[in-house]
Structure 1
């Protein structure tokens, strides 16, 4: 092991140990009620701002149920990235995720539209999924025919649902997806099984299940929009899945990759050793955050270029 890699692992290990010592007790103890949700939203907002502030020189503009994000020196384009934030369908916002969205914009060289979907417990399934679909449809109406999608945690779950919906309706799906620590199993049985082998530094599977349960409480968990089965799907977009080796949702990432590959979809799985949940958002503390984001942005832009070539060939053939 090279010294630089060893130092990175040490820093990641220290960050995970501190998170386990100070953050996990808070996330596990907070009740999933109105007061607990309000506290969690403030806690996460301040934590993310500290861990990964927006890139200096970025431009943020309001949009319809969301905001437009341009990284430093990123101008307008006929292509766009739709970003779907995570945190259990209940906690975060486009503002909390500016550290991620500005870096996605800078890394791809494209404008990002960050979708502001309705949150639980006030709004339940399928409100968030419907809001994401509405955001995608608005981008199409605005003549963005080249659309990429990125999302983290619950936002990854919403991104997969969006792509599956579009394919089933014979609509054009995104050119590619980049998913950071995506949620796949809303029952958290996969996460609980992995947690028995290795404790997640951030939150317990039981606490995370209660949080997501605020969104799914009245829903049929066997619904095709919650418990994904891809047997009827053909042509799922190229997908990159990143997860941390220390997190319980690494199990979800692995199982989602397997499910997509069984359909014949191109799916790259990148489980980064020693990392936590959505470590890409911890740029001030995690050395691997930047390189992982670079890989994700490169995946998106490369497959956008492939889609462009395919469109040219199709037009010439017709």
Structure 2
């Protein structure tokens, strides 16, 4: 069994570069998000462009990456869209995989915006990544994204015949919510492990607001994040079991690694999720990286801490695929 606390030693404070980047974000991204209303077509388009440019400019290198687009129909006629990503030097072996569910607030991102991150994850782990390109709101509302994530999982495990115990599920932000929702379903065989970066858990953002009052998030206000998520789940009761996930009352999940930034409001979601997972007996390692922003792992050119955080993830993936347990040595 794993001690509840992470055994990986984290710095007491973020690097000077990370703190500077967070301060700059508070003067730019945080202000821009206040005026770009995602309910307006121009606001949505501009928000998507800003996120894509940030990920491209400050993400890791794509050198040597191989990408294979997937667009198939399942036996029951449903469509699965995504891409296989092989990082530099990773063989084209699909007997094991990382199933990646990107974040976006259900609205902004895609496999394309996250390709640098998935490529880096593949290169560090030596494992190919299948990244699901689920449909986005506002055109596609709840439960479309969750259904697409489920179909991607079924395609991997049934059509591609990759054993669940040879898969690690990983996701960031809203992708974390979608991943946990998938694994709470009683008929889903669990993967070897679960990796969550800055997971969104509480779609009402009540947890986020409580942390925001103590320390404003440098990239976005909770009231603006709510506007994004509402484009996906508007008209649905917030207590719907697929939206308000009953993690503490659900089935135990596979060994889990959760990372979040100490400067972000969703650190509250990460802390609450880890506590709920432990109530179910799920082995869970929680890391709150000081002074880091939302999904800092995707922006190593701004946040030097992204590299050690990703090495921790790679070590977790390796151990999970070999043994199905968390390596207490980190």
* TM-score normalized by the length of structure 1: 0.92
> Matched residues in 1 for 2:12 and 2:176: separation?
30
Deviations 1:25-53 (A, max 9, x none): 01121112222111111111111100104
Residue number in structure 2 paired with 1:70: 86
How do 1:207-222 residues align onto structure 2 when only pairs under 5 Å count?
207-222=224-239
Structure 1: state its 5+ residue gaps: 309-318
Mapped to 2, the partners of 1:160 and 1:282 lie a distance apart of 24
**What is the aligned counterpart of 2:173 among 137, 153, 176?**
153
The one of 141, 144, 147 equivalent to 2:162 is 144
Task: Note closer, same or farther for the CA distance 1:231–1:194 as it changes in structure 2 (3 Å cut).
Answer: closer
Structure showing greater relative contact order (alpha-carbon pairs closer than 8 Å, 6 or more residues apart): 2
Quote the residue 1:16 is aligned against.
22
Which of 51, 64, 67 in structure 2 is aligned with 1:60? 67
Instruction: Determine the C-alpha separation between the residues in 2 that align with 1:26 and 1:85.
Output: 22
Change over 3 Å in CA distance of 1:192–1:41 after alignment to 2: same
- Matches of 1:40 and 1:188, distance apart in 2: 20
Aligned residue in 2 for 1:90: 107
**For residue 50 of structure 1, what is the aligned residue in structure 2?**
57
What secondary structure, in the 3-state scheme, does the structure 2 residue paired with 1:242 have?
A: strand
SS in 1 for 2:67: strand
Gaps (5+ residues) in structure 2?
1-10, 72-80, 326-330
Partner of 1:162: 182
Task: Give the deviation of 1:177 after TM superposition.
Answer: 0.7
SS in 1 for 2:324: helix
Provide the TM-score with structure 2 as the length reference: 0.88
Q: Moved runs in structure 1, 4+ residues, more than 4 A?
A: 5-8
In structure 2, distance between residues paired with 1:94 and 1:72 = 18
- State how many pairs are aligned: 301
Verify: 1:28 aligned to 2:34, yes or no.
yes
Q: Aligned-residue CA RMSD in angstroms?
A: 1.5
